[in-house]
Amino acid sequence: MDLQRLKPHFPWITLLVLVAFVGMTDPNFLRPANLLSLAGDIVPLFIMALGLTFAIYIGGIDLSAQSMANMITVVASAYLASLGLWVAALCVVLGFGLGLLSGFITTRLFVPSFISTLAVGGVCFSAAQWLSGNRALNMDADQRDALFGWMIGRTGIIPNELFIAAALLAVCLFIERRTTLGRALKAVGAGELAAAASGLNVTRYKMLAFAVSGALAAIAGLLFSVKLSGGAPTIANGFLLPAIVAVLVGGTPLTGGVGGVLNTAIGTMIVAVIRASMLYFGVQATQQQMVFGLVLIVAIALTIDRSKLRTVK
């Protein structure tokens, strides 16, 4: 009973414990400059996780996020020269539209979201390969700095990415807590049949959840390509697993309905600390996904609401 009451507080307790633990092993870790640069580095992943939260909040999943980001890095790099600032709009619209497509496949064709988004992700990945000729593309450095330099600079000692992250978090939090869309997504996640029986257009809201997820994955890709001044079809590989981990350890279970974007912010910080601590403990980059895979299994096992699942396949 008490454990149940504590459960919502697990994520930030975990975060504090991890920070304290790593801080004790390596006092340098707790230096503000180090923490800020850690936070700045995780922002693209955070934005992707923010989007994923919407898909997972309704009880679905978006496996296309990583391929979407990959594709967007290529699109941004390829069209920056010709479109200028408009390339940002193109990226977001592309992400939103492809997310909508995943949503359509899921809700209208009754294909479970893990497979519909996997398929759309495959399309994105291949589109990225085709568009880039399977090579890494580079942005024109001057043009990038002129148009998108504000994204990656610093204000004082604070990386600008953090302002972007905070702004997006604020928008998402507002959507989640204060709009009909957010309320409808909560109802769909917590009790889809009751939402439908209350006359909500469940199909539309579910499609929108995937669209928001796609749009945020696109923004993540855009920011990533600006940071790296280029794009490639595999450049964001390795994002998906930590992003899903961030959502789940944050406290939004795969079954949906509880948690939300604030939880994902905490979850992302946990991921950042785990990632940083792996460096301190000498875990090689090639081994990182093993750790995230294990953390993911533990996180799912701890958070999933088994009363909502009749069978698992």
Q: In angstroms, what is the minimal distance from the CB of 173 to another protein?
A: 13
Can you name the residues that pair with 137 across neighbouring β-strands? 231
Q: In angstroms, what is the minimal distance from the CB of 192 to another protein?
A: 9
Residue whose CB is less far from another protein, 148 or 205: 205
| Residues at the interface with another protein (CB under 8 A) | 178-181, 183-184, 186-187, 190-191, 193-201, 257-258
Residue whose CB is less far from another protein, 196 or 304: 196
Residues 268, 38 contacting (CB under 8 angstroms) = no
Neighbouring CB atoms inside 10 A of 85's CB total 10
Torsions phi, psi for 305 (to 5 deg)? -95, 100
The closest alpha carbon to 217, from 306, 92, 129, belongs to 92
Residue whose CB is less far from another protein, 101 or 195: 195
Helical axes 288-303 vs 261-280, angle rounded to 10° = 140
Neighbouring CB atoms inside 10 A of 228's CB total 18
The CA–CA distances, whole Å, from 183 to 107, 178, 179 equal 19, 8, 6
Residue whose CB is less far from another protein, 20 or 167: 167
The CA–CA distances, whole Å, from 93 to 87, 97, 130 equal 10, 6, 20
Q: In angstroms, what is the minimal distance from the CB of 56 to another protein?
A: 15
Q: In angstroms, what is the minimal distance from the CB of 188 to another protein?
A: 9
Q: In angstroms, what is the minimal distance from the CB of 311 to another protein?
A: 13
Contacts of 4 (CB under 8 A, 6+ apart): none
Q: In angstroms, what is the minimal distance from the CB of 249 to another protein?
A: 20
Strand-strand pairing, 137-138 and 154-155:
unpaired
232 vs 230: CA distance, rounded Å: 7
Q: In angstroms, what is the minimal distance from the CB of 106 to another protein?
A: 19
State both tokens at 237. 């590989």
State both tokens at 152. 């990656």
Helical axes 240-250 vs 10-25, angle rounded to 10° = 120
Residue whose CB is less far from another protein, 28 or 198: 198
Residue whose CB is less far from another protein, 131 or 183: 183
Residue whose CB is less far from another protein, 225 or 263: 263
Q: In angstroms, what is the minimal distance from the CB of 214 to another protein?
A: 20
Residue whose CB is less far from another protein, 161 or 192: 192
